[in-house]
Amino acid sequence: MAKKTTNSGLVSRRRLLTTVGAGAVLAASPFRINLLQAQEATIKIGFPVPLTGPYGTEAQDQVRAAEVAIAEFNEGGGLNGRKAELLVRDDKLNPGEAASRALELIEREKVNFIVGSLSAAVQLAVNNVTKERQIIFNSISQSDTINEASDFSKYTFHEALNPHMTAGAVGRYAFPKFGKKVAFLTADYAYGHEMVRGFQEAGKAFGVETLVDIRHPLGTTDFSALLPRIQALKPDILCISNFGRDQQIALKQATDFGMKKSMKIIVPIMLYTGRIAAGPQAFEGVVGGTSYYWGIEDKVASAKAFNDRFRKMHGGKVPSDYGALGYGGVKTLLMGAKAAGSLEADKVIAAVEALKYDYYKGPEYYRACDHQAVQSVLIIDSKANPQKGDADVFNVVEIEAPSDANLRTCAALGHKA
Amino acid sequence: MSGLSFDLIALQLFTGLALGAIYVLFAIGLSLIFGMLTVVNFAHGAFYMIGAYVGLFLLSLGGNFWLCLVAVPLIVGVSGMIVERFLIRPLYGRGIDYPLLLTFGLSYVMVELIRIAFGKSGYPFDTPDLLQGAINIGVGYFPLYRLFAIGAAVVVLLGLWLFLEKTSFGLIIRAGARDPQIVRVLGVDIGRVWLYVFGIGTAIAGLAGLLAAPLQGLIPEMGANILAEAFVVTVVGGMGSIGGAVIAGLLVGVVVSMTSLFAPEMAKVSIFALMAVVLLIRPQGFFGRAGLMS
């Protein structure tokens, strides 16, 4: 009797161990996420962006715009009643920090998607993590590398423009109009190098001649020593490929040196936030590209709707270019999930690939081979004086329509046909 | 390279001197404070930044740039004196690292206060109307405002030199730098002298910040960038030597500018290469007194 009791006690202990063990395995496996999702959990979107540091202004606007996409989705009934939620993290513009935040979002918060990053290097770091964990990632800043086969995975989407498209569009607009002799002033990192390559490739068709390509380190505060040489070379066009504060200071000092009198200054991306921060003087007459400018609302209905919603949620402000990407990046994944009727990665990927969308800037779609958003590029120049309030800073002088032809070919990127 | 003409080299040299003038103006206060007080002021960059923001604030109240040129050094100088009186003075006699660490921490506090008051993103600072545009200086076009900045630096340096060399208070300051004990024995309140010296040093830093604002705009971190370059200037010139800071500042400006012409990617490194070479040949810098750090 006593022996039997011991036996049954042993069996039950063994069963207990098995159950606990199975439970632990279950808790650690992706299967658990599905169980949780079945219980109508919210859809979580991780949003790592550089809230602090030199691109803080742009990143904060990305958060504001992403909140608009979340609000619209939830008001529209969500995914069969399941609401979405944004989990914002500061990646401090640092690839290592961004990778840890992304991993944390996936492991601890069990996010369904990740949208974010505001640097060529940081987005590749996040992409490495999401690729390995099989979480869909939509990048909202410029990079050519992320399209390439070596970095791409089916979980990778790129809602932002890439340097090849942006510099190409600006070059195709500027070279025939302003001349063929070009001097480059370039920030010495991936962004700058990719932009210059984009300009030079677009320039081949026009016989553009590169007089000089001067590289400056990130965070340069005085460009005066670089400018006399450019002036002496007498270029038709000075092409300044840098970002954020570097762009503001370079334009300001080039203006001070009177360079606009003898040459046209072009930039690949003319930042709305940068122009607001630097004032009209430095940017006056400069031509550049952008993915979005709020002023297209006169012509594009979806832009009007997006701007109005943004104004309503954020005290009458208009969204910036990079801000709007935060909206587009979140919106496309949520609409994909809605179309798929599921959060299962493969189904969402197929649905997002099939989207032909116009959420805020006119028609867009993701190219199948590299998930690059094929979209318009706006060519803008900066007004001397805002007439309709402080936000009225740019003229849209041309819109390059979305076209596969403006992207590098899938074969060139290393994707198999 | 093509297009290398006499005019270009002359213009490049001049650009270097203009850059150097701003380095000198910033480094001179650092050098003055170190030479007299043996305080390595790591908050110097923060006072420079405060100068620019005080200027912005005064302009927003309806002041003009010319008024700022007087008011900013006064306000920043007084705040410097408050810092010396209540934070640095208790640390005298405890070795060089105490005030160094204090000012290092203080610089973070000051930057954070400005971030709270004015926000993290930058502000534009328009060049005053009278000084806009570029004029032909014979070898090419040069911004009028940079010429003005050179002029302002010369005026400040002349004033400082006259003050130190030709007034009796200047005499006390120089004596105090040589031997504070004897000066104290002679009945001079050396604490008061140090208070004014710190005030003058920070006032010049504030003025340098105001002068730099129209060149590069404002951000709370603007002082951190120039601080590294200013330390190179003071080390090359000799810690504590005002004349050394002037010559080294101009030299650093010219070295940066000429390197930018031939190998722009080396421009930033060239400053530190210059420092390494000078330290190898003359460890105390051009005009430094040996043993001041010990």
> Would an 8 Å CB–CB cutoff place B138 in contact with chain A?
no
**Chain A: nearest CA to B261, how far in angstroms?**
7
- Strand A287-290 to A377-382 pairing: antiparallel
Largest CA distance in chain A: 105
Phi and psi dihedrals of B289, rounded to 5? -90, 130
Which of A222, A229, A276 best probes binding to B when mutated, by most B CB atoms within 10 angstroms? A222
pLDDT attached to residue A17: 57
> Would an 8 Å CB–CB cutoff place A221 in contact with chain B?
yes
How far is the C-alpha of A263 from the C-alpha of A178, rounded, in Å?
8
Read off the tokens for B220: 């709370």
Complex ipTM tops 0.95: no
Binary contact (B143, A258; C-beta < 8 A): yes
Which of A221, A259, A382 best probes binding to B when mutated, by most B CB atoms within 10 angstroms? A221
| Bridge partners, residue A185, by sequence | A214, A240
Taking phi over 0 as left and psi of -120 to 50 as alpha, with beta for the rest, A90 belongs to: beta
How far is the C-alpha of B204 from the C-alpha of B196, rounded, in Å?
12
Helix (H) or strand (E) holding A351: helix A345-354
Binary contact (B141, A224; C-beta < 8 A): no
Instruction: Count Cα neighbours of A253 within 13 Å in the Cβ-side half-sphere.
Output: 27
- Strand A264-269 to A287-290 pairing: parallel
How far is the C-alpha of B171 from the C-alpha of B187, rounded, in Å?
14
Binary contact (B15, A249; C-beta < 8 A): no
Which residues, 6 or more positions from A80, have their beta carbon under 8 angstroms from its beta carbon?
Answer: A341
Which of B4, B141, B257 best probes binding to A when mutated, by most A CB atoms within 10 angstroms? B141
pLDDT attached to residue A2: 43
Contact A206, A236 (CB under 8 A): no
> Would an 8 Å CB–CB cutoff place B146 in contact with chain A?
yes
pLDDT attached to residue A12: 60
How far is the C-alpha of A95 from the C-alpha of A58, rounded, in Å?
18
pLDDT attached to residue A6: 45
**Chain B: nearest CA to A331, how far in angstroms?**
27
- Strand A264-269 to B134-136 pairing: unpaired
| Bridge partners, residue A240, by sequence | A185
pLDDT digits (tens), chain B, 294 positions: 455 788 899 999 999 999 999 899 999 999 999 888 889 999 999 999 999 999 999 999 988 999 999 999 999 999 999 999 999 999 988 888 999 999 999 999 999 999 999 987 788 888 898 998 888 888 888 999 999 999 999 999 999 999 999 999 999 888 888 888 888 888 888 889 999 999 999 999 999 999 999 998 898 989 988 898 888 999 999 888 888 999 999 999 999 999 998 888 888 889 999 999 999 999 888 887 665 554
Taking phi over 0 as left and psi of -120 to 50 as alpha, with beta for the rest, B133 belongs to: left
Block mean pLDDT (10 aa), chain A, length 417: 45 58 55 50 95 86 97 94 95 94 96 93 95 96 94 96 96 97 94 94 96 90 92 95 91 92 96 89 94 95 97 96 96 96 96 96 96 97 87 95 94 87
The 10 Å Cβ neighbour count of residue B263 is 12
Cβ contacts (< 8 Å) between B3 and chain A: which residues?
229, 232-233
CB pairs under 8 A between A and B: 102
3-state secondary structure of A235: coil
pTM above 0.80, yes or no: yes
How far is the C-alpha of A120 from the C-alpha of A145, rounded, in Å?
8
- Expressed in angstroms, the distance from the first to the final Cα of chain A is 73
Binary contact (B216, A249; C-beta < 8 A): yes
Contact A207, A195 (CB under 8 A): no
The 10 Å Cβ neighbour count of residue B196 is 16
Binary contact (B15, A233; C-beta < 8 A): no
Helix (H) or strand (E) holding A22: helix A2-28
Phi and psi dihedrals of A182, rounded to 5? -120, 130
Q: Which residue of A has its CA nearest to B145?
A: A256
Binary contact (A231, B123; C-beta < 8 A): no
Binary contact (A225, B257; C-beta < 8 A): yes
Predicted confidence (pLDDT) per residue in B152-191, tens digit = 999 999 999 999 999 999 998 888 888 888 888 888 888 8
CA torsion through residues B91, B93, B99, B102, sign: negative
> What dihedral do alpha carbons A360, A365, A367, A368 form, nearest 10°?
130
CA torsion through residues B181, B187, B189, B193, sign: negative
